[in-house]
Structure 1
């Protein structure tokens, strides 16, 4: 009977192990372990890297880039635009009324992006405002029904999203509907957050 009880306890511990292992040790915040976002390919769970030995590699580990063009960007790319961090970006990713835009060129986007983001390259944004709720009119664009958006690019040294934001503003997009994730892909990767291939 004691052997049977010990065997039952061992089996219970064995089958409970995967459940215990599923709880991430490295969370997004003390209260939030993961966030699920909807993508065209279905839901994706955003979490943080669990390997304590993980390091940035390749281009993401570089600290020196030629300026220009890779110059440190201002905290706010234009008056009225709100600069945000990762937690605010996660909120926007789960808001069906908002759109998160990866404003990098297609080659950068294809190398990995933030789940739930949409690629509208900075050099195409002026022609694609209809995707953001603006309507073409005789004077350019009517953006009175514009969506809340967040733009990002490669990081603190990348000018692609600030350039896109300035184009949007020049075409009438309301500044109070634009958010700028300044940390971009470099900080997102540095924090070990989920990256997907488009």
Structure 2
């Protein structure tokens, strides 16, 4: 994971340049040395930071603890052999790396409501046919993924099977497992940590 070290350095430099001018240090940081991270999106740069209200609590859909299983069953810690599971800090590093694609693998209605800034929407039902957007050459059933990008996929949380299903489909099409990363915590963990979200786009 040598590339993560370089990306972490670039994030710290970005933070130093883009941190809002304020005489007061943020109380709630991402890491002790990083208060925010700026990522590029189709709508321009977005600053990802944590909610500063230390009394803030998650409410609504992502506060829900119990959903019927199936289909909303707890997902394994590993989506597949050779696919690394990551957390928020690794995902932030990947969002800042122009050579990595972070994929919101949820269906359109979920994406439009709320998504992680800088991620690309490719629904889990479509990913096997859209690998050309991720560096593969060919068509479904006959992809050459020798030049595939590093990608990180996420969905709604520990109980959501959309990104694991997408990962399995990618592997069946020949995508290299060591270039796929699984953000298992998904939107629920992202929101529990009070990190910035934006509305998705078509």
Calculate the TM-score normalised by the size of structure 1: 0.88
- What residue number does 2:188 align with? 186
Q: Which has the larger radius of gyration?
A: 1
Does the aligned pair in 1 maintain the 2:100–2:149 contact within 8 Å?
A: yes
Which of 97, 100, 104 aligns to 2:99? It is 97
C-alpha distance in structure 1 between counterparts of 2:38 and 2:98, whole Å: 12
C-alpha distance in structure 2 between counterparts of 1:19 and 1:100, whole Å: 31
Q: Which runs of 4+ in 1 moved over 4 A?
A: none
Identify if the C-alpha distance between structure 1 residues 138 and 72 changes in structure 2 by more than 3 Å, giving closer, same or farther: closer
C-alpha distance in structure 1 between counterparts of 2:103 and 2:139, whole Å: 24
- What residue number does 2:32 align with? 30
After superposition, where does 1:150-189 map in structure 2 within 5 Å?
150-189=152-191
C-alpha distance in structure 2 between counterparts of 1:81 and 1:32, whole Å: 27
The secondary structure found in structure 2 opposite 1:140 is: coil
After superposition, where does 1:117-132 map in structure 2 within 5 Å?
117-132=119-134
The secondary structure found in structure 1 opposite 2:53 is: coil
Q: CA RMSD in A?
A: 1.2
C-alpha distance in structure 2 between counterparts of 1:153 and 1:139, whole Å: 25
- What residue number does 1:20 align with? 23
Unaligned runs of 5+ in 1: 1-17
Moved more, 158-167 or 23-32: 23-32
